[in-house]
A and B are shown apart, each in its own frame.
Chain A
Amino acid sequence: MDTVTNWRERLISRTTRPARITTYKYWLWLGLLIVITGNGAFQYWNQLQDGLYVTDMRDRISWGLYISMFIFFTGVSMAGTVISAMLRAAKAQWRASITRVAEFITAFALMIGAGFIIVDMGRPERILSVYLHGRWQSPIMWDVMAITTYLTASVIYLYAPMIPDLALFRDRLKDKVGGLRNFVYRTLALDWNGSSTQFRLLGKAITIMTLIIIPIAVSVHSVVSWIFGMTLRVGWNTAIFGILFVAGAVFSGLATLIIIMAVLRKTYHWEEYITERQFRSEEHTSELQSH
């Protein structure tokens, strides 16, 4: 029992380390990202001034990098939620250390992907027209609906299993972090006290979300293919796109998961928790999908 307690303490101290200690590397990384984001914001400002002219897209090639990026990030978002839901449903024990990573990838990839649609629009200020004058016959309408549903579902699916961990952060980091972050942990933890009633209710909620999220994800990835498949452009007007997009999403999702896990494992020295077992199992999953 003692070893287990030790193991647990070590796990908690290792995983909360990034929340407790901020190194100069963090600020460097943050600075770099801010520079990149700022550049992007400046370019977008240019685009708002001069029109989509600045992207060098033209009538014949009317969708470019923006839509490719949208498709890419929606594909990557498959990683998370679905893989974690599938593994949860299959009761695969090795998933424990990767589900959180996977769910975060989904939520953030979706947010970025949805952003690309708005950046690609000629008149982004009319985005609400999609709700005011929306037509269900249009694949774009289904896109908007599927993606917002998927985003909501994956945020819930990310948040619900995180409540006990947020409670742990609330309890363990009380004296180590500032008031604002304490407030955030306290609010998000929703008075979690770890009683068996709470665990039962949370388990039920997660079960429901697991069941709901798999069909939503499949629908999202096939719906995204419609914006190509339902046009009359040669090479796009084909029925294979739905299957292709779902299959492609599973593979790119798994690949992203493997990459991000490898980076986290190296950066935070989580070799003990993200072991070779996880990587091997992911390879097997990927192989299984390909058959």
Chain B
Amino acid sequence: MSKRRHPTETPVSINSIDRRDALKYIAMSAIGAVPLMAPGGVMDGLVAEVVRGPGSGDQISATAPATTKSGRIRQWSMIIDLAKCDGCQSQGTPPQCTTACIEGHFAPQPMEWIEVYEGEVDGGGTQFIPTPCQQCENPPCVKVCPVGATFSTPEGVVLIDQDRCIGCRICMAACPYDRRFFNWGNPPIPPEAALADYSVEQQVPATTGTVMKCDFCPEMVRDGTLPYCVQACPNDAIWYGDLEEDIATNGRTIVKASRLISENNGYRLKEHLGTQPRVHYLPGHGEDVGRDPGDEGRMPSEWPWIERAEGAVSWTR
């Protein structure tokens, strides 16, 4: 500063930093933080308050989870037999699981919560893969939600609270299975759906600007019926079960779930990601549907109630 002073420079330099001063300020701020860190101090309560569990589940706590006779909470799971699924090509209809789901849940127009993908099998042939939400036990979507709008229930189902969702869509980016859908416009709501009482397990009626997805129908199973998609499958390809009691049913027979999976070389989608999905697949052998996968000839899903929805906006996916 003994050199020529710049004319704009103020008389006492307000800009230069003394290294010693700098260290002093840093040390002071560090000491100030110590009492907060001490064991049993403010921090402990604060940590409990600030670091909340994954998801709030405010809504769901009112509903008691389904339990086995001995009182253990049931763990819902799905087993999909790809050898049996032919994408409803033999029926000449759109995939009936998708249609039933749309009718039951009033899923807004372009959403297919259980979507039937089509792919080639090694060695020729076509494989149809019905894909509901995989209900991960280690769900990446739940982890990233900033407001706890999506959460895992004690039954192992991942649900979304549309009354809390802020529509930031980070869960959609986080989902490796692409199984989350956003209400881009004002969703089409038929009158019967508009009258329904909203519940996180039903997601009816839909809300603009929130995320939706397959909810695994836990309330239906608690009432003693099977989810829409399981009921609708003409080939009995979808098994719904409880991993706690180790049973699964496709509506026709009841089997031991673990045995069904292991005896048929069951696998899960993208297992290497560590998401621990609850949906298991039994590999298919490839049906001959007389056309290449993805070619025209497959029927698109229909939304049978869409005419009754007033002011419906539908978008393409």
Q: Which residues of A contact B (CB under 8 A)?
A: 4, 7-8, 11, 50-53, 57-60, 62-63, 88-89, 91, 93, 96-97, 120-124, 126-127, 129-130, 132-141, 144, 161, 164, 196, 199-200, 202-204, 206-208, 210-211, 227-228, 230-233, 236
| Cα of A35 to Cα of B256 in the assembled complex, Å | 68
- Collect the chain B residues with CB atoms within 8 Å of residue A141's CB: 146
For the complex of A and B, 5 pairs with smallest distance between CB atoms: A122-B167, A122-B209, A53-B185, A203-B14, A140-B146
| Nearest neighbor of B144 in chain A, beta-carbon distance | A138
Per-residue CB contact flags for chain B residues 293-317 toward chain A (1 = under 8 Å, else 0) read 0000000000000000000010111
Distance, CA A123 to CA B169, complexed state (A): 11
Q: With A and B bound together, what is the CA distance between A187 and B52 in angstroms?
A: 43
Q: Which residue of B lies closest to A131 (CB)?
A: B147
Q: Which of B11, B50, B173, B185 contacts A196 (CB 8 A)?
A: B11
List of B residues within 8 angstroms of A210 by Cβ? 17
Interface size class of B (residues with CB under 8 A): 35 or more
**Cα(A89)–Cα(B51), bound, Å:** 36
* A59 touching B181, Cβ below 8 Å: yes
> A210 CA to B21 CA in the complex, in Å?
12
Residues of B within 8 A of A58 (CB): 184, 315-317
The chain B residues found within 8 Å of chain A, CB to CB, are: 6-18, 21-22, 25-26, 50-52, 54, 56, 140, 143-149, 164-170, 172-176, 178, 180-186, 207-211, 273, 275, 313, 315-317
A96 to B317, CA, bound (A): 53
B residues near A97, Cβ cutoff 8 Å? 8
Using A51-B186, A60-B178, A204-B21 as known contacts, list a sample of 7 further A-B pairs with CB atoms less than 8 Å apart, ordered by residue number in A.
Answer: A52-B209, A133-B56, A135-B147, A138-B144, A139-B144, A230-B143, A232-B140
Beta-carbon nearest neighbor of A233 in chain B: B173
Query: Which residues in B have their C-beta under 8 angstroms from that of A134?
Result: 146-147
Given the interface pairs A120-B168, A123-B209, the reply to whether A57 lies near B146 with Cβ below 8 Å is no
Complex CA gap A269/B115 in Å reads: 64
A62 lies within 8 A of B169 (CB): yes
A88 contacts B185, CB within 8 Å?
no
Q: Give the residues in chain B near A120, CB-CB below 8 Å.
A: 168
Q: List 7 A-B contacts (CB under 8 A).
A: A59-B172, A60-B317, A126-B166, A132-B147, A137-B54, A204-B21, A233-B173
- Give the residues in chain B near A233, CB-CB below 8 Å: 173-174, 176
- A140 and B170 in contact, given A52-B209, A232-B273 (Cβ under 8 angstroms): yes
Of B6, B143, B147, B178, the most chain A CB neighbours within 10 A belong to: B147
Find chain B residues with CB under 8 A from A126 CB: 147, 164-167
Tell whether, in the assembled complex, residue A4 and residue B7 are in contact, meaning their CB atoms are under 8 Å apart: yes
Taking the closest CB of chain B, its distance from the CB of A175, in whole angstroms, is: 24
- Would A211 and B184 count as touching, CB distance under 8 A? no
